[in-house]
Structure 1
Amino acid sequence: MDEVGALDGWLPGRIFWDETDVEASVVEWIWCDLPRFTEAFLDDTFARLMRHPANSLFRRRTTLAELEACAARNPGIPPTGFIFHVSRCGSTLLAHLLGRLDGALVLSEPGPVDSLIRAGHRMGRDRQVALLRAMVGALGQARAPGQDRLFVKFDAWNTPQHDLIREAFPETPWVFLYRDPVEVLVSALNQRGVHTSPGLLPAALFGLEGHPPGDEYAARVLGVIHAAGLEAHRAAPGLLLDYIQLPEATWTLVAPHFGIAPTPEEVARLIAASSRNPKQGDRPFESDSEAKRAAAPEAVRALADRWMRPLYDQLEAARTG
């Protein structure tokens, strides 16, 4: 394993879990000299880095204890704000815009963080909390002069574990982003993520026994995520945000909620960036809400109304009440 002091400039990219001894698990690190992460998702940045010949040949490996030691020696940027979301609701745009603020570094759905959040069956709660803090600290190192704002967008399926994340970072403000249920479900069925594809994540992660038939599985999972966001807000209020409030809410609501007063120059930069789609190579952004609703079969509308709409309505009541 590598010396802790030799890891400056390296990013933890993956955890290889040891099923017999969790402390023997291995963290694989990738060399990275980027000043910030511009891809829509951090795992895309990892993939780009791995295309470099040197990175495919030379990687560092440490234990979990060495990951902790690295973060203790240099804890990184204190998290400025967290993004929770239901998926297919503008969270990538929000993270992209926050990344345009001065001194910002964005971790968008980082795989190693998700791996730790879903590792509760491997270790005790205190150990999991400590390692989650260490991983965010190791990924959240300042990469350029003046970089002092760190934003983390979690995977949608991490929302039900919001209590773990808030235990690790009780002082960090957060937002929960959601969208009209029919629009979310249509998008989820057209382009399925791992959480809406039966068998790719444990159904128990969402409190489900087995896999409900057909498209019901996706609707029920998304309903659970809506419910988790509502539960989180009731336990320790964050900022509830509907997709229809984007992009203006980024600089009028989200930034102030995160303790940031954007300068006129920053606002102008965000307004310019909001017209581009970060998932499509910064091509012009076009709203697809009307098209999604029009394309929804009656069966999909019924699933959205049964499993998602009641939670959406409660979120809206809490947001606007």
Structure 2
Amino acid sequence: MPSTQRSRFLLAAGFLAAAAAEASDEPPIDIPSDTELQFSADPYADQDKLDMIKSGIANLAAIRYEASSFSSENTGYTGVYGDFCVYDARLNYVEDPSLYPTIDDMMLTSDHCGEHTYTLPLAEVVAAVSSHDINVGQTNPPVDGLLFHLGHSGAGVVSNALATFETTLVVPEHPAITDALFACDHIHNRHESADCSSSLQKKLVEDVINLATRSSDASITHAYIKFNADSTAYISMVRDILPHAPWTFHYRDSDTTLAKSTQANRNSCVFKRRQPSSFLAQKAILLGIDLDGMSQEDLCALYLSTLFEVAINEYENSETGMLVSYAQLVEAGYITDVVLPFLGLQAEIDADPAMVSANVETTLTTKSNTRGVPGNKVQHWNANDEVIHISDKVRAASALFLGNAMEVVERL
């Protein structure tokens, strides 16, 4: 489940306390209480929380659900809660977007999200927001683009370029959207339960997307969602909800993608051993593979192959979407002349082509994700200068599990 800054602090404090107890004969260190972690008074303490959400002061931060939340015996999802706090959801427009590659990074700039998150029943919030918006005549900007990717394949560059337009709201890797998409697989893996209604889960995903792309600013006429790599496994579900939204799938040569995906601090794919998507689990069964016994390189290559296959199948079967290789993105004019028009921004480009070209050029020469950079400073970057070590293990795993997918995508 996604966690707020406060819960991350509590978790870290718990690990430190346990380590201290093991290293000495002293009693365990007391973990600070929730009240003690409230470093400041909540400036919105006297305001109605639902009113804050309806007016757009508080935004969705995360969701929580239970093992029975999507039981087929229910007529609607139950036991689902949303965490809300005050943060600037357009910080990636106000400041350099490379500094805020995900919604989590935007929330980390907010003391309110770290100290005063509000938890409310999500269905109650959705009903209240819907009624409010109808009464005041407010409508969400249409979702005009969905960005799926393998990871480390240039989707962040396009997301950052989209965020430079005054008319766009770009929602990059919202944890609530990720968790909503993974809900049934999570319940199956964690609770060994098959009772998870796809229709109820889909309703949750729809509600979460509506909350995440909500804006009362009439000047915003386009919304875009950049999903994390894991979410590519659920591209069909997203497209069932947003069938008319243009979508892109970003990929890179398999050796490089796998090498980057298995680097220390980037190898989140290893967690798929215990939390596989249904697609990954089914492919492992089909191949007679035990995920527990796989090396990191083989496991991550198998995982990436499922993302490739899901995206390619969607592209071929629906005859929609755009497959975008990393090599194409760094070609002069490709983003401005091909990708952005496909995502509905031709009018904005025509209004000021020089400005758009300059903004895109800046994104192409800036590291798309500066998280973890000392001082959180923008870093200049050149694709031609990037050196990536590809080990023999990576090459072998890539050839074994990703070679066929690369051949298919290159023929399309």
TM-score surpassing 0.5? yes
1:303 to 387, 391, 397: 397
Shift of 1:316: 1.5
Shift of 1:152: 0.5
CA pair 290-282 structure 1, distance change in 2 beyond 3 A:
closer
Shift of 1:62: 1.8
Contact 2:107 2:113 in 1 (8 A): no
Contact 1:4 1:66 in 2 (8 A): no
Residues 1-321 of structure 1 aligned to structure 2 (within 5 Å): 4-7=50-53, 8=55, 9-21=57-69, 23-33=78-88, 35-37=90-92, 38=97, 39-49=100-110, 52=111, 54-73=112-131, 74=133, 76-120=140-184, 123-142=196-215, 144=217, 146-191=219-264, 192-199=266-273, 201-202=275-276, 204-207=278-281, 208-209=284-285, 210-211=290-291, 212-214=293-295, 215-236=297-318, 237-247=320-330, 248-261=333-346, 262-263=349-350, 264=353, 265-280=355-370, 281-287=377-383, 291-292=387-388, 295-318=389-412
Point out where structure 2 has 5 or more consecutive residues left out of the alignment: 1-47, 70-76, 134-138, 188-195, 371-376
Contact 2:258 2:300 in 1 (8 A): yes
Contact 2:88 2:106 in 1 (8 A): no
Q: Secondary structure at the match of 1:278?
A: coil
Letter in 2 for 1:308: L
CA pair 145-267 structure 1, distance change in 2 beyond 3 A:
farther
Taking the aligned partners of 1:143 and 1:306, their CA distance within structure 2 comes to 50
Contact 1:88 1:184 in 2 (8 A): yes
CA pair 40-83 structure 1, distance change in 2 beyond 3 A:
same
Deviates more, 1:221-230 or 1:33-42: 33-42
Letter in 2 for 1:238: G
* Percent of aligned pairs with the same amino acid: 17
**1:131-159: CA deviations, max 9, x gaps?**
22221121112365512221111111111
Letter in 1 for 2:397: L
Contact 2:156 2:368 in 1 (8 A): yes
Letter in 1 for 2:83: E
CA pair 71-136 structure 1, distance change in 2 beyond 3 A:
farther
TM-score, normalising length: structure 2: 0.70
Taking the aligned partners of 2:89 and 2:62, their CA distance within structure 1 comes to 18
Q: Secondary structure at the match of 2:249?
A: strand
TM-score, normalising length: structure 1: 0.88
CA RMSD, Structure 1 to Structure 2 (Å) = 2.3
Matched positions, count: 312
Q: Secondary structure at the match of 2:248?
A: strand
Letter in 2 for 1:103: T
Taking the aligned partners of 1:66 and 1:288, their CA distance within structure 2 comes to 51
Which residue matches 2:20?
none
**1:207-238: CA deviations, max 9, x gaps?**
33542421210111011111111011012221
Taking the aligned partners of 1:61 and 1:76, their CA distance within structure 2 comes to 23
Shift of 1:204: 4.1
